[in-house]
Structures are given as C-alpha cells and as structure tokens.
Amino acid sequence: MRFGTDGWRAVIGEDFTVANVARVAQATADWLVQEGRAGDGVVVGYDTRFQSRRFAEEAASVLAANGLRVLLCSAPAPTPAVTWAIRQHGLGGGVMITASHNPPEYNGFKLKAHYAGAALPEMTAQVERLVAHNRDAGREPRRLDPHDLPRRVEPFDPVPGYLAQLERYVDLEAVGRAGLRVVVDFMHGAGRGCLDRVLEQAGVEVVPVRAEQRPDFGGTPPEPIPRNLRPARAAVVLHGAAAGLCLDGDADRVAAVDEEGGVVDAHRVFALLLQHLHEDRGLDGTVVKTFAGSRMIQRLALAYGLPYVETPVGFKHVCRRALQETVLIGGEESGGIGVRDHMPERDGILCNLLLLEMMVQRGRSLAGLVEDLMDRVGRHHFDRADLRLDPGRVDALMQRLREAPPDAFAGFPVTHVDPLDGVKLILGDHGWILFRASGTEPVVRIYAEADEPAKVRRLMAEGVACARGTAGDQGVADAAPE
C-alpha cells in the first residue's frame, strides 16, 4: 500500500478492500498520535464511488477505536468542503475516501493534514512505514463494535461551513446581478449540492448536467478534460449559457466551456485566474506550477514581476510551497488549482466561481477572456496521451531517455533536457514534450505543448511511437492525470 501522487489508490476488491482500508486507517491513527494531533480530532469524508460510504465507516471505526474524535460526513461531499472543515474546526487532520478522477473501478484514501492541505511526502511515508510495522508485528487494526459506531462517531455536514467561506471569498452579489445562465457539469460526482447551491442562492440560473450521483460515473471517468466534456459543451450551446463549469469526481479540479461550446482547459483556466487575482484583485505572491503545466504561467508571472517556482507533478508539492511562503496561485496540468487566502488545497468549486467573477468584473465573455489571454501570452496548444505498459517496461523507456536523450525530436532540435519529474525535452521556442510515469495508475504519460496545433500533433505522434518502441505492446489508455 503505497501513497502516490495524491493518496493511496487501488482497484476496488483487489487491493482496495475493507481490510486494507482498516490497516491504513490504523497507521493514520498511529501517526496522528505520534504527531501529537490525536486530541484535535479528524474528519472523514467520501465521494460517490462504489462502497465509498462503507470504506469511510471502516476508517471512522478504526480512528474512533484509537480514541480519536471522529466527524463522519453524513453524505458524499466534495474534497474541498471536507478539507475546509479541518481549518474551520481546528482538527488534527482528515481522511477522504475518493479516487478523484480515476476510472470507476478505483477508490482511494487521501490523507489531509492539520493545515487543511494534502499530507506532505514525508508524512505519507511515515504512514506507509507504520502500515508495514503493524503488519510485521502482527498488530491488527482496532475497530469499534458496529453497534457503537453511531454513539462514538459524530455525523457531520461540511457543506454549510464551506459555502460560508465561498460567500466570503467571491463577490457573489456581483455575479448574481449579472443575470447569468450557466451549465454545471458534475460528472456524476460529489460536487452536486455545493456549486449549484451557492450559485442559485446568488441568483444565477443553473442548468445541471450529469447531476445524478452514480458509482459508475455514466461510463466516463470523472475527469474534466476535453474528450469527456461533450455533454457540457452540448448543454451550453443548447441553453445559450454564458459558460459551462466543470468538476471532477470529488470536485477539486476545474475546467470550463465557453459560450460557443469550446473547452477552456486547465492551462487556460490557471492563466485566467492568475490574471484575475493579480490584475483585478491586486494580489501578489509566488506563482507555483507543476512540471507538466503550460509555459503561459511562467510568461505571465515574469510579466508581472512575481516569483515563479516549478515543482514535480502533484499538488502536495504546491502545498509545501504554500506552507513556506505566500503563494498567489498554484496548480497542475490536470486542473487542480489552489489560490491565496483560502487553504493550501486545490478547489474546483472556488476556481469556477472565480472565473464567473472575472467575467462579470471585466464585462467579457469567457471566449473573450481567452482571446485576450492569447493576445497577451501568445498561442499555446497542448495535448496528452496515456499509455498502459507491461510491468517494468516503463523503466526502460525512462532510463533510455535519461541516459541517451535525442539531439532532435519530431524534427525539432532538443535545446535542453529537464529531469525534474520524468524527462522533459525542451525544443527551443517550438515547445516541449514530457515523458513521465504516472503516480496513480500503471501508465506512462506523454505531454506536449507548442505554438501550433500541427506541431503538437507531430510531437505526440513521435512521443507515442517512441514509448511503444521501447515498451512493447500496449494501448493508449483513457487514464487520468494525477
């Protein structure tokens, strides 16, 4: 049981079982005791996946049996709402049962620390060591008698406190006065009852899409990337909406659809929010981008004279920087974005609201905002492919690229090789291509960015051929980004 880019994830019924959840929960309780946080209590939340409630009850039972005060969510809830409860109630940490955007056969165990953000790698490494120690010592998890669960575990609703924070952070009065109609695509996840509720209370007309909470997510991984957003795009055009606001399965990631039905991907959302926070709100701070993100972010940060930091993939690295200094905004290629004066955590619901606030304050449509952005930073085009590999073959690919990187790739000269997280080939002003192993699924991810769509297609075709030539027989997967 290893914590990857964002928590421990595994296939339900294989490695992700009630027994293994109990083992990780016991190690979490032991870790909280060691850290002196056990007396502060914990919150346990869960998403809409198969058996998530049952897994959450098991985690709550183990934590309570170890003497911790446990707040157990009464219904599926967004990860940002559960994490905000840690800050609101001064808790020692939290557990979120979710595999986020992964396909429906997965579930996961996200660990949140006392600062209301992802547990840092050294924290999850300690939990892993405690799992192994307990196993080697023959120490079984403590559990409550099932009849004691209602008495020892407190039912909890994190949504009201979280909505109050959103109302403090966003100018919802201005958003409401604009008379907008918006589509909200929940992707059958846990965001229903938060984003729609705060918008409707502000006077915004909401058209819900994929709002039913379904464990199978309707057959589409709950990941807000272009190929998965056709229902939102169609609904925006059909209803004449000003925008489509899209969430992943646990509502900590963001994407959008403009009024013409075009997808505004996570890279552009990140850049727009950076513009809004700095130009419209007058805020400063460090800009943090993970390794697979767009060059647009660096160009904006340099134009504003703001400190800029690039980290390995995984929001936990953004979180670390936010604990060390004032981070204005930090985000990932996959749509996880966090902002200043909130919490060191990604929040898809808040980011969607800030997009609407930006539209209203600037008096521009979403497509207009994107066009203004392109005029400012130049044209940027991006793609990603996920290839499932036979076990161990990814190592051969990565080793070859590290030890003998090419002098040219897809006809473009390689001007620099960056090994921060995987292997990124920098192709001068043309763009870049990145190869890296996933931290959440058995795939190798290939990312590319260039100033023209045709260049991106060339890079991706060459990248997939390169990976297949090394890795053998495998397919392009609908795997999800971390």
What are the residue numbers of the active site? 100
What tokens does 63 get? 């934590």
Torsion-angle region of 431 (φ positive above 0: left; ψ -120 to 50: alpha; else: beta)? left
C-alpha to C-alpha distance for 78 and 396, rounded to whole angstroms: 38
Are 481 and 394 within 8 A, CB to CB? no
User: Strand pairing partners for 408?
Assistant: 413
Q: CB-based burial of residue 325 (10 Å sphere; 0-12 exposed, 13-18 middle, 19+ buried)?
A: exposed
C-beta of residue 10 within 8 angstroms of C-beta of residue 99: no
* Contact by Cβ (8 Å): 354, 170: yes
428: β partners: none
User: Rounded distance, CA 182 to CA 129, Å?
Assistant: 47
Nearest CA to 272 out of 181, 180, 385, 353 is that of 353
Is beta strand 254-257 parallel, antiparallel or unpaired with respect to 243-247? Answer: antiparallel
The secondary element (H helix, E strand) that includes residue 151 is helix 149-152
CA distances from residue 474 to 443, 465, 469 in whole angstroms, order as listed: 10, 11, 10
Rounded to the nearest 5°, which phi and psi values hold at 211?
Answer: -90, -20
Residue 149: which residues within 8 A CB-CB, separation 6 or more?
57, 60, 61, 64
